[in-house]
A = this chain, B = another copy of it.
Amino acid sequence: MSTRTGESLYWTALNKGKRSVAVDLRAPEGRELVAALATAPGSDGGIVVDNNAGRSWLAYESLAERRPDVIQVRIQGHADGRPAVDYTVNPEVGVPGITGPTDVAEPVNHVLPAWDLLTGMTAMTGLLAALHRRDRHGEGALLQIALADVALTSVANLGWLAEADERGADRPRHGNHVYGTFGVDFATSDGHRVMVVALTSRQWDALRAATNTEKVFAALEDALGVDFSLESDRYRLREMIAAVLRPWFVARTLEEVGHQLAAAPVLWSRYRSLHEAVTEFRALGSPPVLVEVEQPGIGAMISARSPLRIAAEYGASAVAPRLGQHTDEVLAQVLGLSDAELGRLHDRGVVVSGSA
């Protein structure tokens, strides 16, 4: 929520680049308009994404009567129709049990609504695949995707279910250590923190060189009969490796650490707060994937372009519409409604226009 304006920054950020049509779905005429929009003609028409449950007039069968090759993508909570949101799905798939500090007994919810983001992109992939098929073969499709299924398939796709099955238990909590390899965070002398990862033996070599610990780790390999060029040994002895490296980091400022890690080069990054990311963008204008837009209703607002670059260029930026901002424009363009017809719909309260 924007404390300056009372507008939702979340809503605004999620809806940028869209057109908004405001229709009263309780009115039969309103439903007719939405069904007509969903089944509009043309090769780019006849596509609808919804999270409808129980509205028969928006069911695939109803829409397919109007346009047999309609593509409908329906997003659900659970596949059986039960409601769910990101925050209720995440506990069910076991991620909070392996997230967080090792000394915490309770589950730790991650804050990023990862399942929402991933469900949206998976739905979009399904939509484009269905459109591809329709272009080629003329067939429409009803696609459904449930948030709970996205979460469960993701932990399966990472091998985590198979691993828990074989282990007969969950993996233990690892705190900020990366599972299966060497990677962990270190504090610097000036109160900053960095993340350092050595996935490959080359990255491990660079890390030892940067921290002047080659002889130390060679002696430890001899003494312990291990081989740190192996990811499995780096993982197994991660706590010891971190303990050996820690004094190097804590004796140096972030600037010194960064300079020497980058020269090696070590795979690393610094912990930067959301606010620091904003401050750096304002000071440097980078990275170029971020952009400041003039958002009606809010004013200057940090926003983002698409992360997909086409021919090395980021796309344009966009702002969010007001609710109903494009009501008349869309109904005229897509359904060919006349000014007189639009006027009658407004008079009867079936549609509403919002101003930018």
Contact = CB atoms under 8 A, between A and B. Distances in A.
Interface of A: 1-4, 8-14, 43, 79, 83-85, 87-101, 104, 106-114, 117-119, 121-126, 128-129, 131-132, 135-136, 141-146, 148-150, 152-171, 174-176, 178-180, 183, 185, 193-195, 197, 199, 232, 267-278, 281-282, 287-290, 298, 301-312
12 contacts: A1-B232, A79-B309, A87-B183, A93-B274, A94-B276, A106-B193, A111-B179, A143-B308, A161-B277, A162-B302, A167-B275, A170-B273
Contacts of A10: 158-159, 180
A290 B156 contact: yes
Contacts of A304: 152-153, 156-157, 161
Given A94-B273, A114-B118, 15 more contacts: A83-B267, A85-B199, A91-B270, A94-B275, A100-B101, A112-B154, A117-B154, A144-B312, A149-B287, A153-B289, A153-B290, A156-B302, A161-B304, A169-B275, A170-B275
Given A162-B13, A287-B79, A310 B110 contact: no
A176 B108 contact: yes
A220 B193 CA distance: 43
Nearest to A181: B87
Q: How many copies does the complex hold?
A: 2
Interface of chain A: mostly helix, strand, loop or mixed: mixed
A152 B112 CA distance: 12
A274 B98 contact: yes
A309 B114 contact: no
A311 B97 contact: no
B13 A308 contact: no
Nearest to A60: B311
Nearest to A174: B111
